[in-house]
Amino acid sequence: MSFIPINRPVLGEEEKRAVLSVLESGRLTDSSYEGGRYVKEFEGKVRRLLGSRHVIAVNSGTAALHASLLALGVGEGDEVIVPSFTFVATANVVLAVGAKPVFVDSKEDYNIDVDAVKKAVTKRTKAVIPVHLYGYPADMDELIEFARSRSIYVVEDAAESLGATYRGRQSGTIGDAGCFSMYATKVVTSGEGGMVSTDSDELADRLRLVRNHGMVHGYDTKHLGFNYRLPEPLAAIGSVQMDRLEGFISARERNSRYVLERAGEVEGAEFTQDGADRRHVFYLLTLNLRKKRDSVLERLNSRGIGAAVYFKTPVHRTPLYAKLGFSKKRLPRAEMASKHVISLPVHPGLSGEELERVADEFVAAASSLLK
């Protein structure tokens, strides 16, 4: 019985050929302000998908978020509102620029609660980072309207949601900056990698500076920056993957709808990311189990199904943030979610037989344990 992982990249001959052509060219990276040939090609494809004015490639989603905060001038003395129910990078980048993360609760769809954001705002609030968790867009209109009225920047953490849409707009193009991840298991991968999208010429310029030590010509640094450049072999992989994006998303949707239809037989398993005004890209298909989540997880894993939990601990309760004094805050929905969510494999690499196994095993485990 083979093990079915929660996510697995789909890589083929074209990706191999693309990497080989970079190796043959001998240009593995390009430290110019604009970036190398494959970086520009990859950026161009993401920009056309998003319809945004600028897209800047960097070497991880974390770098995309960190660079965005630096480019927006967020720093010491500032507060940045973040959901606690997310991957740690969303909050870590706030610490990295010397600002204070202000954790807020999520809603039933696991995304940031805009009412909680309104209550958390202070004179020091400089930015808010909504996360489109699991590939499902957060409620953006009300958040943007509120943020604009208070001159607060909106940096979208779209690490998991490339290709998702909210009321006809691509996720990551609605705020001041949108940050994507191209990590190995993401909807589109370059191994490691990230992108920032923005319509602001000024911000795009600063992002390019942050990506490259603040340098334009020679070694004269104009802005605090780092080495956040994406290597050419990785950009070449990402560029090929972009041509396959729609196929990947459609397969994720199809697989998820099939599993959801089957999961409908299970009482006590709930799916809460189904708004008609947005497109979910199903980076993860995540269900809420009324009880026995850990037993279901264990049973599935023992049967070769790589079901997984994102995230078992809300960020404000992780050891680092507890040490920093953030863990006393009550965020009941984030805490509930971390006890009840389970994600099932629906990636495009699944064979029909594997998909059937995922659905059969989930229905069997959940029906017997949730009784």
Ligand X SMILES: Cc1ncc(COP(=O)(O)O)c(C=O)c1O
Q: Supply the minimum distance, in Å, between the C-beta of residue 200 and ligand X.
A: 21
Q: Supply the minimum distance, in Å, between the C-beta of residue 157 and ligand X.
A: 5
Nearer to ligand X, 114 or 131 (CB): 131
Nearer to ligand X, 234 or 305 (CB): 234
Q: Supply the minimum distance, in Å, between the C-beta of residue 90 and ligand X.
A: 5
Nearer to ligand X, 86 or 239 (CB): 86
The Cα–Cα gap between 228 and 28 comes to 15
Sheet holding 285-289, edge to edge: 269-270, 285-289, 341-344
Q: Are 337 and 315 in contact (CB under 8 A)?
A: no
How many helices (H) and strands (E) the chain has is answered by 13, 13
Residue with smallest beta-carbon separation from ligand X? 61
CA atoms in the 13 A half-sphere facing the CB of 85: 27
Please classify residue 148 by burial: count the beta carbons closer than 10 Å to its beta carbon, then call 0-12 exposed, 13-18 middle and 19+ buried: exposed
Is 368 in a helix, a strand, or coil?
A: helix
Q: Supply the minimum distance, in Å, between the C-beta of residue 302 and ligand X.
A: 26
Nearer to ligand X, 185 or 295 (CB): 185
CA atoms in the 13 A half-sphere facing the CB of 135: 23
Q: Supply the minimum distance, in Å, between the C-beta of residue 133 and ligand X.
A: 7
Please classify residue 168 by burial: count the beta carbons closer than 10 Å to its beta carbon, then call 0-12 exposed, 13-18 middle and 19+ buried: exposed
Nearer to ligand X, 181 or 343 (CB): 181
By DSSP bridging, strand 285-289 and strand 100-104 are unpaired
Q: Supply the minimum distance, in Å, between the C-beta of residue 262 and ligand X.
A: 26
Nearer to ligand X, 279 or 292 (CB): 279
Is 343 in a helix, a strand, or coil?
A: strand
Interface contacts to ligand X, rule CB under 6 A = 60-62, 86-87, 89-90, 131, 157, 159-160, 181, 183, 194
